Amino acid sequence: MTESIIIDCDPGVDDAAALLLAFPSTELEILGITAVAGNIPLEKTEANARFVCELAGRSDIRVLQGCGRPLLYPQRAGVTVHGEDGLGDIGLQRSSSPPAERAAIDFIINQVRAAPGEVTIAVLGPMTNIAVALAIDPGIAPLIKRIVFMGGAAFCKGNVTERAEFNFYFDPHAAQAVVASGIPMVMFGLDVTHKAIITPERTERLKRLGRIGAVAADMLTSYGAGDPCLHDPCVIAYLIEPEIFSGVEGFVEVDVQSDLAMGQSIVSVSQRELAGRTPNCLVMTDVDHDRLFALLEERYARFLAQAA
């Protein structure tokens, strides 16, 4: 049974690694890719999403551009670990192709309405596009199968401030709107992604996997110098092989009030913390990282077979 997914992302090196994992995985039917501002401005994230599709020979996949800034929080420079071009500044030669259609929000709404209960949204960046789609058409919330996202830090420190992880920090109001939507969710916060470490040994193994493996290895080596965690691919890996991961049911909220803790994910797990509330999210806390990287290698190797 294939899973129909929309991948909402801000490529971003780890987003790119996640896309390359999704492309050859026949468990997934990629309905489209929607780009959002985050790591770098929208004009670069949408161009990078199109580039990664071209690189992998998947220009058949629709790329749409969405929101160019957070809902309310001031627009801030993205993170530099992704490099100026957002893909590790490794000298990638790009073709000049027209920008993607500015229709991500309508695309999300239309795809969900066309297949009620069947579309999963994999969110790899700030949640702005999803929050706007829910604001424009609140009726889609019960029609979305589930949202599997990279964001937040349930029981560990943040990576932008002491309290907040980047995707939630960049657009805390969107994150709160989505986690409060009632849509079934699976959260890949820093608690679990910090256990998926990009090591030189692992990138060396990717280099043996032809052009895609080599490009991925170079991007991840560049990115790894600043952030050695393989964040976004965890979301895609879960959709392919969920048993690699484990977690706890909890109630997730996002702090949108305080300056000091803006974007902090507050996760209630115990009966006392829940205080009668029903958990709204499966919060991932552990990963078999050897199996995760073995999956990445096995799927990247499929590009070799395609090229042969």
The one catalytic residue in 173, 194, 231, 289 is: 231
Of 10-18, 94-102, 205-213, 234-242, the segment contacting Ca ion by CB under 5 A is 10-18
Q: Please select the residue that binds ligand RIB; options are 3, 5, 7, 14, rule is CB under 6 A.
A: 14
Among 39, 129, 203, 285, binds ligand RIB (CB under 6 A): 39
What is the nearest approach in angstroms of ligand RIB to the Cβ of residue 15? 5
Q: Residue 263's binding partner, choosing from ligand RIB, Ca ion, none, with beta-carbon cut-off 5 to 8 A by kind?
A: none
- From Ca ion, ligand RIB, none, which one binds at residue 34 (CB under 5 to 8 Å depending on kind)? none
- Whether 231 is catalytic is yes
Size of the site for Ca ion (CB under 5 A): 6
Cα maximum dimension of the chain? 58
Tokens of 243: 């048993």
In the bound complex, what is the minimum distance in angstroms from residue 153's beta carbon to ligand RIB?
A: 9
Q: Which is nearer to ligand RIB, 146 or 231 (CB)?
A: 231
What is the CB neighbour count within 10 angstroms for residue 138?
10
Supply φ then ψ for residue 72, to 5 degrees: -130, -45
* Window 229 to 258, contacts with Ca ion (CB under 5 A): 232
How many chain residues are in contact with ligand RIB, going by CB under 6 A? Answer: 15
Contacted by 66, from ligand RIB, Ca ion, none: CB < 5 to 8 Å by type = none
> Cα dist. 99→45, 55, 63, 161, 262 in Å?
11, 16, 9, 33, 33
As a dihedral over the C-alpha atoms of residue 140, residue 144, residue 148, residue 151, rounded to 10 degrees, the angle is 10
Is there binding between residue 38 and ligand RIB (CB under 6 A)? yes
Single residue of 78, 125, 172, 189 touching Ca ion by CB under 5 A: 125
Q: Which chain residues interact with ligand RIB by CB under 6 A?
A: 10, 12, 14-15, 38-39, 124-125, 150, 159, 165-167, 231-232
Q: Which chain residues interact with Ca ion by CB under 5 A?
A: 10, 12, 15, 124-125, 232
Point out the residues that are catalytic: 231
